[in-house]
Copies of this chain bind each other. A is one copy, B any other.
Amino acid sequence: MTITTSPQSRNGVDVATLFATLDAVRDNPAIAKFQFRVRNRWQGGTHSVSEYSDFSGALQELRHKNVTVVESDHPEVLVGADHAPTPVEYLLHAIAGCLTSGIANIASARGVTLTHVSSTVEGDIDLLGILGLSDEVRNGYQQLKVTFRVEGDADDATLREIVEQSRRRSAVYDALTNPTPVQIEVVTG
């Protein structure tokens, strides 16, 4: 693939810069190491607030253009105050957003113009696990179902293959379908 055969921008994706970035990473793989971070603070009850600002990557400390604040809580039926979605609901946004950004990038790289991408994600969970009432029921989702609607100037098979390639290269799909080591440290006071 060469930069010159691609339009500068398609689907809002700067394809030339995307390919140039791939080339830059090929030349210096160390710039591909990133660290993302969140800072969370308990507000009372099951309500907490997280803030996103800085991250590292491309061998430097970086900042998002804006600080983003997100909240989570439990709904009233689960004895929370329902200030915000539950923590597990953020996993649903994560996979929808990750697959969608991949679809946009991959379609653009392949010269396909998209006119619509939307999705619904449904996660089934049996709370017997987290409530400690069954040792046979897992704590997390038993299954997730993502339903995409994708429209653009390509045939059905091409659009499906774009979604499939996005799945193959999705960070969040991998994080949910394969185990990730999680270390927890505690400082008390």
Closest to A39 in B: B120
In the complex, per-residue mask of A25-38: 1 if CB is within 8 Å of any chain B CB, else 0: 11001001111111
Main secondary structure, interface of A, reads mixed
Query: Which B residue's beta carbon lies closest to that of A161?
Result: B186
Q: In the bound complex, do residue B186 and residue A131 qualify as a contact, i.e. CB atoms below 8 Å apart?
A: no
Say how many copies of this protein the assembly contains: 2
For residues 119 through 172 of chain A, which have their beta carbon under 8 Å from a beta carbon of chain B?
Answer: 119-134, 138-151, 156, 159-160, 163, 167, 169-172
Cα distance A99–B142 in the bound complex, in angstroms: 19
Report, as a range, how many residues of chain A touch the other chain: 35 or more
The answer for the CA separation of A62 and B34 in the assembled complex, in Å, is 39
28 A-B pairs, CB-CB below 8 angstroms? A12-B45, A26-B133, A36-B88, A37-B123, A38-B89, A40-B97, A40-B119, A46-B104, A48-B96, A58-B77, A64-B75, A64-B82, A72-B101, A87-B98, A87-B172, A88-B98, A90-B94, A90-B97, A125-B171, A129-B169, A129-B174, A138-B174, A143-B183, A145-B183, A146-B183, A148-B187, A150-B186, A177-B179
